Structure 1
């Protein structure tokens, strides 16, 4: 039997109260093997080794979670042999938020040179940072792969609340942050709430910042609001942002005053086009956007109610049924819309939290659903994580779900995927949260709510699972990123009060973890 190295760590922290000073204390404990005096149940896995045929039982890992041997060759027809854990903790850092202050679940992006960007919004004053500017400001940090913080930037406007919803980085090391504002940022408000995008140069200086919203009639105040959801950037530095608006943002030739939208800015900040995603009588909520670099196509995923994207009309439900459908649309670089795929289960469907395109042009969606999709029964279950792969024609290749289906104690369990990333070989990495146990659904979680990381190969076979948590602690997942050396980075928030390690922080603190 192979003895796994048990991953246990104490998060590196950076004291951020005004009286703490700027000294950085590193409490990162090296990986330890076997028994340890440090807190147990921080990571969970199963060290047992035996062959498993996933073709005969694709969900056996929920009962017998194993780890695929690193660098193993996996022919499709051969049973998978699980062994040594390929996922090792390299470092972790914690940004503490002073008490009675808040910070939003962070976004993460990795540029073409392997630098890591973390963005959020907060009402807190941070050490090494000037006093807050508005009621809530943009916080952007840049790290190298060795945990060194290269710079931190804070952007705000007096008496203005900025909300961050997306972060992207291009191959040249520029970072792009998007969100929405209730006050002036680049200029005076256009509507009651505008969207914004800010481009940062590699040294942290602002290249440009832009606002956009439905135009108000001359002399008439409008209450239109624009919300952003996601952003992606192509190799030319064009940025694409999706969201919703209750006003005519984009082409409203169908007479619809609101709905979803996608907007494009070039690398210099010029608005190239904005397209409204709407069908009269339907509710449409774009959530994510991703780009296929080879074909210069942009994908938008979201949920809709009563929208038939195949016909651009509403569904005619005679029985009043109809849930929230998952849809994916495809746009060319000129903003022309094309149907890609849509679920229509006539019941609650899939909530997409993340979208990406792999190096082969396949489209992957990660999120959650309360429907049993993997086995096609469409019966209701607990909220479970869902990962779907489509080919470039919009045909579904496979669906995978994880998380408890039921609980012997009738505790409401919930599992969701919040971020996905792919490597050059088509492997898929996910992160998310659960208040159950995704490795053994009949066991308890490690904490109040844990985070997890998984790796699937291109066939949808799971190669490893890691669930991370600690007794009494609630972890909130962010996104996941992968660099050119296949290092994984994930972000999130923790409510750990740190008393066990004599760390004093806010109600929720931000963490960044690197695995290799």
Structure 2
């Protein structure tokens, strides 16, 4: 699934701004949608921030130290944005984010110390008679917490790429994308790299790769999709025979003949059996799912028309294929802005659910900024309903979907704000819905320095999440600026346990899967050494691990 790594955890520091004036320049666009700047005020200050020299529409927002939006300037077109306010001492953030097109910008900020107003003296009250104290009640004992239904998992193995093969290692970054498991205990992972993972020479800017590991963690093979430009494998899924299906995008010439989004089938030995393209610039396949009959469902974004007329700049889409690679139907939905679907899941009746992010009103109204959304399509491809939910924050997003045995739908994502009973706090969230789209519950965990990247579900309908955090999970020691985590929740949304993977550098867990015996398979990236020595730290390596229940 697509990710934007510019977040509150990767800000540009402006330092102390009190009685100072400074300027910064940058650019936001399709490939880098937002920039964050952190600053401090040593006392009560009058703040002025302006955003100018725009060639396309970009907005400016002021956030508090928990990432909650305090003020926003959102003028149309290329008009300059400005925020003026008075703030108390503390840490704050500025967010510059794209609304349309690609544009450079100039950011200017200044703060002037302002004396704190002296309140008028309050009248001295007449003392009231001292009442006779009531008897002190006995303290109520704290309730005994319910025992956990599951102990923390045990690591079976962990592997790191490319340092499993030191002779192939290069001083370049690798990126994790997706994970899948088959019924034989094998693990499949995918990523992209600007190094020479898998041997040979690099064909383009980023080459996509996917690999198979057996149940003991031994790599069986590694294959690449390599053209003259950028290539990505965003989603993986397996069938009952151990065949592998993948989706992603490529923009180059060569092996994949200038395709855009694609879906492909490979046998268990890594041989390609068929491929289909969804051509057009701006088309990306972000996720893939399979039903009990072997039909496949993929979802993503398009700047053109895959399943209908384009409503704006980018639309979300979903497509169904049979097991022979023949397209059955496509659907498309969007607003005038940048709409994208990041995840797809299918229920026992063959209905498809997709979820993502929109700046508009897919379901009739918007809470402000970018909202998360969930949509349901029938087995014949008819749009049945769309639910939209969010806060006034510009960064609400649904990243992942899973479905339980009763066809209830679980959606997970992140929010930069709060929305009352939906998301009371600025934290990652998981929401449970009925098949009709009625919300059953929502739970949040961690803090604003925790992100949710993926969801998985086991045979007992317990949930597993993965991501990155600066919070503490379980008994692991917090390492670098960001640590990889994964955690388990029951079907009522209660957290059962959490695990960290931490080095002195940045670590992230992107994708997670659970097999039929509740073994957990998780993958991510690390700047350090998790599964092997990384001599190039803090260059990112991909890692994959297996845990026993």
CA distance in 1, matches of 2:422, 2:274: 50
Alpha-carbon distance change, 186 to 508 in structure 1, aligned in 2, over 3 angstroms = closer
Partner of 1:459: 492
Match of 1:434 among 454, 463, 469: 469
1:512 lines up with 2:547 in the alignment: no
| Alignment check: 8 A CA contact 1:349 1:370 kept | yes
Match of 1:272 among 309, 323, 328: 328
| Alignment check: 8 A CA contact 2:511 2:523 kept | yes
Partner of 1:51: none
Match of 1:475 among 500, 507, 513: 507
Q: Normalization by structure 1: what TM-score?
A: 0.71
Alpha-carbon distance change, 501 to 332 in structure 1, aligned in 2, over 3 angstroms = closer
Partner of 2:266: 200
Deviation at 1:495, TM superposition (A): 0.5
- How many correspondences in the alignment? 400
Deviation at 1:141, TM superposition (A): 0.9
1:124 lines up with 2:191 in the alignment: no
Alpha-carbon distance change, 462 to 511 in structure 1, aligned in 2, over 3 angstroms = same
CA distance in 2, matches of 1:349, 1:258: 17
Alpha-carbon distance change, 379 to 269 in structure 1, aligned in 2, over 3 angstroms = closer
The unaligned stretches of length 5 or more in structure 1 are 1-76, 215-223, 405-412
- Secondary structure of the corresponding residue to residue 105 of structure 1: strand
- Secondary structure of the corresponding residue to residue 415 of structure 2: strand
1:291 lines up with 2:346 in the alignment: yes
The unaligned stretches of length 5 or more in structure 2 are 1-142, 164-168
Please give the residue correspondences for 1:11-30 in structure 2 after superposition, counting only pairs within 5 Å: none
Deviates more, 1:362-371 or 1:296-305: 362-371
1:494 lines up with 2:494 in the alignment: no
- Secondary structure of the corresponding residue to residue 232 of structure 2: strand
Deviation at 1:467, TM superposition (A): 2.3
Partner of 1:100: 171
CA distance in 2, matches of 1:186, 1:87: 41
| Alignment check: 8 A CA contact 1:113 1:172 kept | no
Partner of 2:407: 361
Deviation at 1:328, TM superposition (A): 0.9
CA distance in 1, matches of 2:299, 2:533: 42
- 1:189-231 Cα distance to aligned partner (Å, 9 max, x none): 36xxx112221111211011222124xxxxxxxxx42122222
Please give the residue correspondences for 1:3-14 in structure 2 after superposition, counting only pairs within 5 Å: none
Match of 1:305 among 356, 359, 364: 359
User: RMSD between aligned alpha carbons?
Assistant: 2.9
| Alignment check: 8 A CA contact 2:423 2:442 kept | no
- Secondary structure of the corresponding residue to residue 358 of structure 2: strand
Please give the residue correspondences for 1:212-361 in structure 2 after superposition, counting only pairs within 5 Å: 212-214=278-280, 224-252=281-309, 258-279=314-335, 281-292=336-347, 294-309=348-363, 315=365, 322-348=368-394, 350-361=396-407
CA distance in 1, matches of 2:495, 2:380: 38
- 1:296-342 Cα distance to aligned partner (Å, 9 max, x none): 11000011222142x5xxx4x8xxx7222221111122211111522
Name the one with the larger strand percent.
2
CA distance in 1, matches of 2:149, 2:293: 42
Q: Normalization by structure 2: what TM-score?
A: 0.67
1:180 lines up with 2:246 in the alignment: no
Partner of 2:52: none
Partner of 2:48: none
Partner of 2:90: none
- Secondary structure of the corresponding residue to residue 229 of structure 2: coil
| Alignment check: 8 A CA contact 1:114 1:484 kept | no
CA distance in 2, matches of 1:377, 1:145: 40
1:209 lines up with 2:284 in the alignment: no
CA distance in 2, matches of 1:251, 1:126: 38
Higher RCO (CA-CA < 8 Å; seq separation 6+): 1
| Alignment check: 8 A CA contact 2:178 2:236 kept | yes
- Secondary structure of the corresponding residue to residue 421 of structure 1: strand
- Secondary structure of the corresponding residue to residue 512 of structure 2: strand
CA distance in 2, matches of 1:306, 1:255: 11
Partner of 1:402: 445
Alpha-carbon distance change, 203 to 396 in structure 1, aligned in 2, over 3 angstroms = same
| Alignment check: 8 A CA contact 1:251 1:275 kept | yes
- 1:28-82 Cα distance to aligned partner (Å, 9 max, x none): xxxxxxxxxxxxxxxxxxxxxxxxxxxxxxxxxxxxxxxxxxxxxxxxx995125
CA distance in 2, matches of 1:153, 1:400: 39
